[in-house]
């Protein structure tokens, strides 16, 4: 039903992805996709704009209910509309949560390499950041070193900032892995703040499990963040959801806002409701396209880009390229930007464990991905 092969010119649309680099550079970096959003979302936005009045919005019962139903249908996670707090973005959301739970004291732990805003969240909250590296198995897949994770905890550690599905390594952590993490956090009296923004973008053979759905005890000590933004390519409309089943923690989060964090705008609310209510067919087609792109990229890297390795992403539309085998190239980010005219994310943005890696966004039409791969091959 939908066209995932072509896309409009984004150069003059206030797009940071397409505006940061020169016109001869293919942007394969920041995590928004080069696909037109679902038609039901576009139609809903048109109808709302044509109304012509854009006063202060409120969160409708219908939007709250569609989120509750989605969690139950997709993950068998039963929550209520009272458990929801709407915020402009997941990044501002987890910063808010970390500040609310820490009170400006103690430390926060996370698993690296990881989405760059995680690394700045502790400083924003006035606390220490602890990083524990994920480790690579013999196949290159990242796994959790549970002993190292537990050793990394300090007596003053208040929050574990979890990324699942993981950005940038593409893991969708298994239920047993999440249970081990939850058990450690419960035993050490550590809250969990779980960024699950990519939870809808899961490939065949894998299943997303919200860590808060593992049981009542862990649910009461976990705050989960979701959004339609990555799933339906509406990040610029800034609507995200904090899910928290603990009334006490919700009150702390609301108190921490203290006039500093705004509310979701009316168009963001309109798009979110339409996406969750009517976007399932578009999402199903999208996942097929993304999986095809993923498999194409994996094959091409293996067969044509000597010196580069990548594990197969289980979720997200982000590839984590291990460029440490390019012995004659000091800086792979600068090399591919200058020689291939392909812009990716420098792995060093994701912490020390990202040294020698690049993150490539394959959420784009196949032709654009092929062009980027051919440019990279030619440069090498």
The pLDDT score that the predictor gives to residue 139 is: 85
- In the numeric block, the tokens 């103690």 are attached to 106
pLDDT in tens, the chain (380 residues): 899 998 889 998 999 999 999 999 999 999 999 999 999 999 999 999 999 999 999 999 999 999 999 999 999 999 999 999 999 999 999 999 999 999 999 999 999 999 999 999 999 999 999 999 999 998 889 999 999 999 999 999 999 999 999 999 999 999 999 999 999 999 999 999 999 999 999 999 999 999 999 999 999 999 999 999 999 999 999 999 999 999 999 999 999 998 888 899 999 999 999 999 999 999 999 999 999 999 999 999 999 999 999 999 999 999 999 999 999 999 999 999 999 999 999 999 999 999 999 999 999 999 999 999 999 999 99
The pLDDT score that the predictor gives to residue 8 is: 84
Backbone φ and ψ for 186, nearest 5 degrees, come out as: -65, -45
The pLDDT score that the predictor gives to residue 259 is: 84
Inter-CA distances, 184 with 56, 91, 174, 178, Å: 43, 25, 16, 10
| Strands 84-87, 240-243: pairing kind | antiparallel
- Domain ranges in the chain are 16-39+280-379, 53-278
Q: Domain 53-278, CATH 1.10.3720.10 — does that match?
A: no
Q: DSSP secondary structure string, 121-178? A: HHHHHTSEEEEEE-EE-TTS-EE--HHHHHHH--TTEEEEEEESS-TTT-----HHHH
Contacts of 73 (CB under 8 A, 6+ apart): none
Q: Report the distance separating Cα 135 and Cα 126, nearest Å.
A: 28
Q: pTM of the predicted model, to two decimals?
A: 0.97
Task: Indicate the Cα dihedral angle 327, 329, 331, 335, nearest 10°.
Answer: -150
Q: Report the distance separating Cα 110 and Cα 5, nearest Å.
A: 37
DSSP state of 352: G
The pLDDT score that the predictor gives to residue 292 is: 98
Helix (H) or strand (E) holding 225: strand 222-226
Q: Domain 16-39+280-379, CATH 3.30.450.40 — does that match?
A: no
The pLDDT score that the predictor gives to residue 138 is: 86
């Amino acid at each position: 039903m939908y066209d995932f092969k072509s896309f409009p010119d984004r150069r003059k649309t206030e797009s940071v992805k397409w505006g940061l680099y020169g016109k001869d550079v293919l942007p394969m970096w920041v995590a928004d996709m080069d696909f037109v959003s679902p038609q039901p979302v576009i139609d809903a936005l048109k109808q709302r704009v044509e109304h012509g009045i854009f006063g202060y919005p409120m969160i409708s019962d219908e939007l709250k209910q569609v989120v509750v139903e989605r969690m139950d249908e997709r993950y068998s996670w039963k929550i209520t509309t009272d458990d929801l707090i709407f915020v402009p973005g997941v990044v501002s959301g987890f910063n808010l949560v970390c500040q609310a739970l820490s009170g400006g004291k103690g430390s926060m732990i996370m698993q690296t390499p990881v989405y760059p805003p995680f690394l700045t969240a502790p400083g924003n909250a006035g606390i220490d950041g602890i990083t524990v590296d994920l480790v690579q198995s013999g196949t290159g897949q990242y796994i959790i070193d549970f002993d190292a994770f537990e050793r990394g905890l300090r007596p003053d550690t208040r929050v574990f900032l979890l990324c699942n599905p993981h950005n940038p390594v593409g893991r969708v952590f298994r239920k047993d892995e999440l249970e081990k993490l939850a058990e450690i956090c419960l035993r050490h009296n550590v809250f969990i703040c779980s960024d699950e923004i990519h939870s809808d973008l899961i490939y065949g053979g894998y299943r997303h499990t919200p860590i808060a759905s593992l049981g009542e005890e862990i649910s009461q000590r976990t705050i989960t963040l979701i959004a339609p933004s990555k799933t339906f390519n509406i990040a610029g409309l800034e609507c995200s959801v904090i899910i928290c089943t603990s009334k006490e923690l919700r009150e702390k989060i609301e108190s921490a806002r203290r006039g500093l964090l705004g509310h979701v705008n009316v168009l963001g609310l309109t798009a979110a409701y339409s996406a969750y209510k009517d976007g399932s067919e578009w999402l199903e087609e999208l996942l097929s396209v993304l999986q095809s792109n993923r498999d194409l990229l994996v094959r091409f890297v293996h067969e044509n880009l000597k010196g580069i390795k990548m594990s197969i992403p289980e979720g997200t539309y982000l590839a984590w390229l291990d460029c440490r085998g390019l012995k004659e190239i000091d800086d792979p980010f600068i090399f591919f930007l200058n020689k291939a005219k392909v812009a990716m994310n420098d792995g060093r943005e994701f912490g020390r464990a990202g040294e020698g890696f690049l993150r490539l966004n394959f959420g784009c039409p196949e032709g654009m991905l092929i062009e980027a791969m051919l440019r990279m091959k030619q440069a090498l």
